[in-house]
Amino acid sequence: MHPTELLRQARLKEHPLEPLSGGQMGQVWRAGPYVIKTHPNPPAGMFQAEARGLFALSQAGIRVPEVYWASSDGLVMEYLPPGEPDWEKLARMLAGMHKLRPPTYGWDDRVFLGSFELPSGTHPGWQTFWIEKRIQPLLEATWKQLGPLGPRVEALLGQPLPLEGPALIHGDLWQGNVLAAKGGPALLDPSVWWGERAVDLAMMTLFGGLPAGFWKLYRVLYPIPPEIERALPRYQIYYLLVHVYFFGSSYLPLLLRTLEAAT
């Protein structure tokens, strides 16, 4: 759907459209005080799930853009003007969010990683949930592309993971989803659910990761045990599988290196 039509649906004033970067899973536009996200063929429920995730983050003390309209065709949100990075403020926000203790693992609503829908529902046991609801669906979706790496990923699934307990997680927390905005940092494009904090930490240390200024304070506010640090490559496999699914075999060498680090 054309972004102007989404503004009309939301009964918001029309403004000249300016394409923005960051639309790997669709198109992103600025229209004056609004940001509009569209997709040429959006999976049913994807934008509504993003809106619910942004609301959950806001309830946990995370700054996010306000959502004005969410439908099956797109999302209309607040435009946050750019500002200077504030990594210490981000560290305080994320440490506070990760310390929240929900009752179980999973999410009752629909969950998407990009436009890939993950199984919803909750489970009290992390190992079962992680395998059945997160890794196995991505492994099945990428099996033909993985070749000999598929059985190597499978072989890791039976090995127990160290636990800290359920936490509220952003679910796709790489630097591109952190907005340096006036008034402080904000988070974008969530894949929110209740999982082990290590899922977020894995993405926060992948693809270059967040800068030292962030980690210096975050580790003081919420120290990372050595066994969790050692397990991060196993969680990074989750994100690399979805990159193989969307972007193809160019991610297989990194997946191989991550598998070697995980074993």
CA distance 213 to 95: 14
State pTM to two decimals. Answer: 0.96
Work out how many domains the chain is built from and give that number: 2
Q: What is the residue range of 51's domain?
A: 3-78
Average pLDDT over residues 141-166: 96
pLDDT tens-digit map of 34-83: 999 999 889 999 999 999 999 999 999 999 999 999 999 999 999 999 99
Closest C-alpha among 91, 77, 13, 2 to residue 38? 2
My answer on whether 59 and 115 are in the same domain is no
CA distance 54 to 66: 8
CA distance 64 to 75: 14
Instruction: Select which of 73, 109, 172, 189 is catalytic.
Output: 172
- Which residue carries 């981000």 as its tokens? 90
Does residue 172 carry a catalytic annotation?
Answer: yes
Given a cut of 80, whether residue 3 has pLDDT beyond it is: yes
For helices 149-156 and 252-262, what crossing angle results, to 10°? 30
Domain boundary among 13, 48, 78: 78
CATH number at residue 15: 3.30.200.20
Domain boundary among 52, 78, 104: 78
- Which residue carries 């962030």 as its tokens? 214
pLDDT of res. 84: 96
Please report, rounded to a whole number, the percentage of residues in the chain having pLDDT higher than 70: 98
